[in-house]
Chains A and B, each alone.
Chain A
């Protein structure tokens, strides 16, 4: 079974600074997808960024980028120019390419942004 581990229960960052959230996963599969989701206080899950395992290039979405290390099974999220609105709980998630969409989530990291 696949597992996803987020070893940082809480992180904090100053507004306009950069922060990196860590995620590692364990799988025996070669084809899969990785995601970062944001859950603000409203509890609405929002997709931040996704990475296809077969792609070597790291995904980027505006201020959000990932460092995908397939051999190390690591998938960290970098948030640049942090904004107050980035404060939320962030979840790393894994999905097998062969599954019907089932996601395995990490434990989550609470990100606080200080003005």
Chain B
């Protein structure tokens, strides 16, 4: 149980276009989902936290208008990179939390590699 999927796993797009990444909790309802960005051999950097039905909370320094997050249901959150540029190329990881139990563990998706040409 507690499986999180991401789609697509890899995407290549042209500069100036928008890209949508989906994050789904397959066998549980996720009260909270998190979006991370990771550069090669670096740590995960939290971009934003989303709760179903409400606006996402962005970390300092993350452009809200560039990285649009929608948490439309308890099993789906989307990250849209708008007007993508080569510097947006990175590995994006989502995680989902059930909000249950003392630890409230996060379950991670397999990640999406974005390459902007």
* A interface residues with partner B (beta carbon < 8 Å): 33, 42-47, 50, 52, 89, 91, 95, 100-103, 105-108, 110
Contact = CB atoms under 8 A, between A and B. Distances in A.
A81 B4 CA distance: 30
Given A42-B110, A44-B110, A100-B49, A33 B103 contact: yes
Contacts of B104: 95, 100-101
Contacts, number: 53
Which has the most chain A C-beta neighbours within 10 Å: B32, B43, B104, B111? Answer: B43
Contacts of A91: 43-44
A85 B11 CA distance: 28
Which label, helix, strand, loop or mixed, suits the secondary structure of the B interface? strand
Interface in B57-85: none
Contacts of A89: 41
A102 B34 contact: yes
A52 B110 contact: no
Nearest to A106: B43
A99 to B, nearest CB: 9
B29 to A, nearest CB: 14
B49 A102 contact: yes
Given A47-B105, A52-B102, 18 more contacts: A43-B93, A43-B110, A45-B108, A50-B103, A52-B103, A89-B41, A100-B32, A100-B49, A101-B32, A101-B49, A101-B104, A102-B34, A103-B44, A105-B44, A107-B43, A108-B41, A108-B43, A110-B41
